[in-house]
Amino acid sequence: MKRGKAVLITFLVTFFFGVFFLMPVADVLKQAFLDQNGQFSIAYLWIIFSNPIYLEGLWNAFALGVMSTIFTFFIALPLALVSYRWTFPGKKWLTVLVLAPLVLPPFVGAVGVRHMLGVEGALNALLIDLGFMSAAAPTDWLGAGKFWGIVLLNALHLYPILYMNILAALGNLDPAMEQAAQNLGASPWTRFKRITLPLCMPGIFAGAAIVFIWSFTELGVPLVFDYTRVAPVQIFEGIKDLSSNPIPYALVAVMLTISVLVYAVSKVILGRNKLGLSTKPKADIQERKLKGLKGWLISLSFAFVFILATVPHFGVFFLSVSSDWYGTIFPESLTLQHYGEGLGHPLVLGSIKNSLLYASGATFLDVILGVAIAWVIVRSKMWGRNVLDALMMLPLAVPGLVLAFGYLSMSENGGAFSFLIGANGSPALLLIVAYAVRRLPFVVRAAVSGLQQSNVELEEAAMSMGASPARAFWRVGLPLIGTSLIAGAILAFAFAMLEVSDSLILAQQAEHYPITKAIYALLSTLGNGHEIASALGVWAMIFLGVALAGAFALVGKRGGNLFRF
């Protein structure tokens, strides 16, 4: 009976997944490898690898990925270690604050950065004011340092993923492991090097792989920085003549291959060492209290990371309230008129409404699918449920761009997905499904970790008291995983609200634009487009900041399990 249900759920989920994930990916690959006559061909790949511009684009994307991951690591590791081991003034708030940058869209932040680091930006104005720079020959920071600007922005955006991963790995360590080493005479450094770090490696690799894939395929930031020699942007630009040009597809295929490879390698490394990672540590780690100056120094460094990560967004905020910000340190005068104008702008209100609709639809779909899948993975004894688990994590390895492309070509010109396009070309269903597929891993992980942590006997007890299996799950199983499920859902929702690739590529009429596409469109309008875009960005950030803080307040320290893939 239980097995029957598990098989049915698996069948339905796999079907959904096959249609809305594997098919679009396969479609992209097909476009990349079939020539006009439908014959298999590597001609397009050859074009890419023989064209220095595409090669440079790929190389730059790869370098961005690697450097962003390294930078991320150096921000995340110290923060995670410190917050695992010590308490310091304001820890409760600071540890939540440092997570906030994850949902602050770097794509929006980049707008702020441009205004601060541009030729006529705030930094140059400051340097000129202080006399370090001649007003006649200002430095073009972004012209010279676009690459590092993107790396920095990526790192400051993505470090929370790695931070949460490492923290979760540490949290799942049985403290007795370290205590045993201590008991045998190991110094703190030896303990860290020989016990803690090796045991955390799976967590570090898991996080690093996601950070790499994310920054490798990042579209929004390079786009706003006008950094055109990078593969994702080249792909995006290539859409304009999509029907005739198979090159973007071939590029997408190359990026997909690299991403999947990286993900697979991290999985192999991850799979090797499961020992010592008990899901429930026997004893709680003793957090030591750092008093006085040391404690405050730690607090300061947390605050510093947070402020550094949010500087671009403060820039956005200033931009949104400035009447004129050009060649000065701070805006000359402040005004709220852009918020007012924004509300009157046809794109703004519509896009907020659209994004809310798309994101909540996707979240709803994710929660239902996620709970069902998690139930099969954790509670049923179905053969092959581990395969299902691995399958559900695949969207993490596939760049958003790839999926977006698949959806695009399958929904155009009466393709298989054209039924998802509503009346007057509304992409609502298409975007809901696209968002849902890409964010599904987060919800599945949340539900799985919730179920794994709650004892199956609790549900069995309910059944032995006379509750049917469904009732037992509803009254006992679900409430117990409720918090982690809500946290996963909020996370999925937050990411869906700020999704870039699908949104930019799939929403084609202005009245159906989600927030990100509206911001992108506003950025390219003349006049006060930037300011209104910033006002919209600020609304989105406030909204998401609150949502995320809520999510992590709900799950507490174990929130990191949401990121253990």
Binding site for other proteins (CB under 8 A): 1, 455, 457-458, 460-469, 471-472, 475-476, 479-480
Tell the smallest beta-carbon distance from residue 172 to other proteins (Å).
Answer: 20
The amino acid sitting at 321 is V
In the complex with other proteins, the residue whose CB is nearer, 2 or 193, is: 2
Q: Taking each helix axis from N to C terminus, what angle separates 23-33 and 43-50, rounded to the nearest 10 degrees?
A: 80
Tell the smallest beta-carbon distance from residue 535 to other proteins (Å).
Answer: 42
Tell the smallest beta-carbon distance from residue 376 to other proteins (Å).
Answer: 19
In the complex with other proteins, the residue whose CB is nearer, 42 or 553, is: 553
Q: Side-chain half-sphere of 539: how many Cα atoms within 13 Å? A: 23
In the complex with other proteins, the residue whose CB is nearer, 273 or 455, is: 455
- For strands 86-87 and 288-289, give the pairing: parallel
In the complex with other proteins, the residue whose CB is nearer, 158 or 487, is: 487
In the complex with other proteins, the residue whose CB is nearer, 1 or 130, is: 1
Number of helices (H) and strands (E) in the chain: give both, helices first.
Answer: 26, 2
Tell the smallest beta-carbon distance from residue 278 to other proteins (Å).
Answer: 16
Residue closest to 540 by CA, chosen among 320, 330, 336, 346: 320
Tell the smallest beta-carbon distance from residue 470 to other proteins (Å).
Answer: 10
Exposed e or buried b per residue across 538-564, where buried means at least 16 C-beta atoms within 10 angstroms of its C-beta:
bbbbebbbebbbebbeebebbbbbbbb
Helical residues (DSSP H) of 225-374, grouped into ranges: 231-238, 247-272, 292-321, 337-344, 346-374
In the complex with other proteins, the residue whose CB is nearer, 52 or 466, is: 466
Q: How far apart are CA 285 and CA 84, in angstroms?
A: 8
Q: What is the CA radius of gyration of the chain?
A: 24
* End-to-end Cα, the chain, rounded Å: 30
Tell the smallest beta-carbon distance from residue 378 to other proteins (Å).
Answer: 16
Phi, psi of 87 (to 5 degrees): -105, 145
Identify the burial level of 338 via C-beta atoms within 10 angstroms of its C-beta, where 0-12 means exposed, 13-18 middle and 19 or more buried: buried
In the complex with other proteins, the residue whose CB is nearer, 111 or 476, is: 476
In the complex with other proteins, the residue whose CB is nearer, 112 or 477, is: 477
In the complex with other proteins, the residue whose CB is nearer, 354 or 454, is: 454
Tell the smallest beta-carbon distance from residue 477 to other proteins (Å).
Answer: 10
Tell the smallest beta-carbon distance from residue 456 to other proteins (Å).
Answer: 9
In the complex with other proteins, the residue whose CB is nearer, 340 or 556, is: 556
Tell the smallest beta-carbon distance from residue 467 to other proteins (Å).
Answer: 5
Tell the smallest beta-carbon distance from residue 455 to other proteins (Å).
Answer: 6
Whole-Å CA distances, 110 to 71, 101, 262, 377, 526: 18, 13, 27, 40, 18
Q: Taking each helix axis from N to C terminus, what angle separates 141-172 and 106-117, rounded to the nearest 10 degrees?
A: 140
Whole-Å CA distances, 255 to 53, 288, 347: 15, 45, 33
Tokens of 292: 């006085």
